[in-house]
Amino acid sequence: MDTSDSSSRREVHDATSGVHPVLHFFSEYGDIVAGFLFGFLAIVFHHFYPMPYLAVISAAIAIGSFSVTVAEIAEILAERLEEPYASFVLTFSAVAVEIILLFMIVREGVHAPEALETVKGGIISAVIVDMNVLLGMAIFIGGLSYKEQEHNEDTSSTYTTILLVASSALLVPSIITYTNAGNTLFQASVLIALLLMAFYIAIFIFQTKTHAHFFKATAKSRLFRLKKKRAEAEAEEEDEDYLFDRFGNVVNFIAMFIFILLIGILAELFAADGMPIAHELGISTGLAGLIIAIIAVAPELLTAVKAARDDEIQRVVNIAMGASTVSIMLTVPILMALAYANGIKLTLDFNAFQVGALILTIILAWKTTDDGETNYFEGISHLMFFFGYAIIATLYH
């Protein structure tokens, strides 16, 4: 009796869903399938049948696919945790991919010094993409569905202050390049990296212990989502068969790190073949850094857009600004330490264009989020800024 009942329920479910099992499988796990398929092709084109262009393209697709998987697992974990820890999981999963990609480029600096300039461009571009593409696209799409979306203004106010201070700190090594070079520049870079790390520890305590309420949705913004909770509860059964939804938090964390490890292996291939190709095609270091940043941020962008469409703009702000904060304050010290361990001195002498774009981005984010409300025009403003940056980055050598 039970067997027939369950089988009849499955038949009803299949009939009502109207989705072929194969199509359903690929809709759920297409990113994992694509990751392994293109990852295999990248290895083949790199090691067995050397075709650098195909190897780079395959590796990029595989990295992007596995990054989507990492983002999906992180989103499941985030839904089970409260803010600000939920956004921590999302931001750290994306920044981990960013660090891996940039570190593999750093290692190429032994043979190609211009690789280090690409890394510096990647660090700045990660913040530019987070604050303009991710935040801008999410605000724009959310603004098309809702006239205005509300978030906790203390969140954006705190983050923009942090980012402005961090960006100002990055000016120190850059200024030294105009007055003195050599050992002084590296020493200044190390001291600034340590300062950023110490600042982040203070921020972490502020964000999780003493002022956690600064990073949570306000009562008014939560009210707008109560109606959606009922609709989400009705649709929740559709995703119950997703593999990672069945796993506990510990297993999901392990799975996420396994996929990040696979991304690291592919990132090494991407860097090894990608840097010579970039040099051959005359691609500027700024554009190369921008491409790396887009690959790293793309999965996080999908999460942010989905949150904006669900009127969860608080999560969007936490992801965009939180990821930017981590990109500067953790990516910089970690990359410098990893580079030094590999016999490479990575300095923080960013050029005037990079630092200027970074500071202007933070000012723009401050102006568009300081009142705790966002609309689609503010999203367009961020996207316009990004396109202007992308044009200059392409032409700036």
Cα 111 from Cα 75, distance rounded (Å): 38
Rounded average pLDDT over 101-129 = 85
Q: For the domain that residue 371 is a member of, what is the CATH number?
A: 1.20.1420.30
- 270: containing domain: 2-395
**pLDDT-derived band of residue 19, with 50, 70 and 90 as boundaries?**
low
Joined tokens for residue 152: 């906790």
232 residue type, one letter: E
**pLDDT-derived band of residue 179, with 50, 70 and 90 as boundaries?**
low
Cα 10 from Cα 21, distance rounded (Å): 12
Nearest to 126 by CA among 162, 87, 98: 98
pLDDT per position as a tens digit, 229-242: 544 554 444 445 67
What is the reported pLDDT for 5?
47
The CB-side HSE value for 115 (13 A sphere, CA atoms) comes to 24
pLDDT per position as a tens digit, 264-289: 888 888 888 888 888 888 888 888 88
Q: What phi and psi, each to the nearest 5 degrees, are found at residue 204? A: -60, -45
Looking at the structure of the chain, the number of domains it has is 1
Whether 36 shows a pLDDT value over 90: the answer reads yes
Say whether 375 sits in a helix, a strand or coil: coil
pLDDT per position as a tens digit, 322-362: 888 888 888 899 999 999 988 888 888 888 888 889 999 99
What is the reported pLDDT for 381?
94
If one compares 126 and 221, the residue with the highest pLDDT of the two is 126
Rounded average pLDDT over 295-324 = 84
Contact 161, 346 (CB under 8 A): no
